Amino acid sequence: MTDIIDGNAVAAEIRAGLADGIDTLADAGVTPCLATVLMSNDPASETYVSMKHSDCEEVGIEARDFEIDPEAPAEELYDTIDELNADPSVHGILVQMPVPDHVDEREVLRRIDPAKDVDGFHPENVGRLVAGHPRFKPCTPHGIQKLLAATDVETEGADVAVVGRSNIVGKPMANLLIQKSELGNATVTVCHSRTENLADKTRAADIVVAAVGIPEFITGEMLSEGVTVIDVGINRVDADTEKGYELVGDVEYESAKAKAGAITPVPGGVGPMTRAMLLWNTVKAAGDAEAVDVNL
């Protein structure tokens, strides 16, 4: 029997667990606050931001919404970030990516106060993660660690193939898994588009994390029996549905499930965890800023 890893259930537990920290902050007169900044008309980005707001509302985090015309000069975004950095009532800042081409994405990441960088993408926070003393763990890989722990999948001593080396998923995932820590201590192979004999790497793995951005790219044939499969992918493919599309992962679900000991579905696997860990980082940011122990 394959264990279908229920990301919605684990994310609900994470949100419930944050309630204590939020109560402690409330006792100290603090409401954690996340500011989101959107500089795009892309419907997917708009949806992501609105989901983040409703998640915040649900747990008692204040969410402030800043929207900037995608045609506006880059300075308008930089100035907004500066203002949010300077506002002590804002604990977390999230600039929804991607930003328009005329905006320097690296400048955006550098500009956010690292103490408010709840995505964990500021170079200082990346450095701290690599050095083994993270402040904010990036939401998706941190969520995956929590999913593995909740499923009782041991990372210590496990061989893990991470397919994808992006700064937001693949690289931080690999970094977290190799750390000398409770949810780490794995042996990690990081694969990418220039990897040769990819299937040999994935077949040799006890855990496969697929973050490729290609629908159904990892098939059952590329996996060994009993493997744990974490499918990060979210791909819209045309389908005869009301919306005209459906969401599929980077893993071919049915063939992978036939091999796997445990697998995350899409949707309902990694996605809800990413959202929950953003709340986690925001509560942590508020605790750090206000010197309140929120136990995260």
**Structure-token pair, residue 198:** 């990819």
In three-state secondary structure terms, 223 is coil
Other residues' Cβ atoms within 10 Å of the Cβ of residue 137: 24
Q: Does 212 bind ligand NDP (CB under 6 A)?
A: yes
Question: Which DSSP string do the residues of 107-156 spell out, in sequence order?
Answer: HHHHHS-GGG-TT--SHHHHHHHHHT--SS--HHHHHHHHHHHHTT---T
Active centre residues (catalytic): 52, 96, 119
Binding positions for ligand NDP, 121-160, rule CB under 6 A = 140
164 known ligand binder: yes
Q: What share of the chain is helix, strand, coil (3-state, %, to 5)?
A: 45, 15, 40
172 vs 287, which CB is nearer to ligand NDP?
A: 172
**Structure-token pair, residue 275:** 């959202």
The span from the CA of 279 to the CA of 276, in Å, is 5
Q: Does 169 bind ligand NDP (CB under 6 A)?
A: yes
> 218, 232, 278, 286: which one contacts ligand NDP (CB under 6 A)?
232
Q: Does 279 bind ligand NDP (CB under 6 A)?
A: no
235 vs 255, which CB is nearer to ligand NDP?
A: 235
> 114, 120, 138, 233: which one contacts ligand NDP (CB under 6 A)?
233
Other residues' Cβ atoms within 10 Å of the Cβ of residue 87: 14
> 195, 219, 224, 255: which one contacts ligand NDP (CB under 6 A)?
195
Q: Does 99 bind ligand NDP (CB under 6 A)?
A: no
Footprint of ligand NDP (CB under 6 A): 140, 163-166, 168-170, 191-195, 198, 211-214, 232-235, 250, 270-271, 274
Which residue numbers belong to the known binding site for NADP(+)? 164-166, 234
